[in-house]
Amino acid sequence: MDGDELKRRYTAGERDFPTAKLIGAKLIEANLVGVNLFAADLTDANLAKAKLWGANLGGANLAKANLTRANLSGANLHEANLRGARLNYAKLYGANLSGAYYDDSTRFSRGFDPVSKNMKKL
């Protein structure tokens, strides 16, 4: 599946895409509110400015994904792989980040404390 197919199916009313393979998908400014991408592979995906509030990204692979200015308010990112991801200016209000993995190359907004969100550094 590519980003265009995901957006088309989402627009048609589908919300469940667990374990979807979306490596390198272009989802800039995509409206994916409440989407279920549990354990999906979004390695290198571009989700800049995407609307993902309430989304289920638990266990998803977001390694090297661009989430700059994405709205992830209330999203589930439990045990997601965020190593090398860019989360600059991302909205994370009420997001579940417990157990999410990050490393020295993960980029957060200034002042964001991953330890306080129970994230795990690898």
Q: Are 30 and 50 in contact (CB under 8 A)?
A: yes
Which domain does 2 fall in, by range? 1-122
CA atoms within 13 A on the CB side of 14: 11
In contact, 81 and 102? CB cutoff 8 Å: no
Looking at residue 22, its pLDDT comes to 98
pLDDT at 112: 96
pLDDT at residue 59, rounded to an integer: 98
**Per-residue model confidence (pLDDT) at position 45:** 98
Q: What is the pLDDT of residue 84?
A: 98
Model-level pTM?
0.96
Q: Which residues of the chain have pLDDT under 70?
A: none
What is the predicted pLDDT for the residue at 76?
Answer: 98
| Rounded CA separation 8/44 (Å) | 21
| CATH number, residue 30 | 2.160.20.80
pLDDT score of 98: 98
CA distance 103 to 82: 8
Domain total in the chain: 1
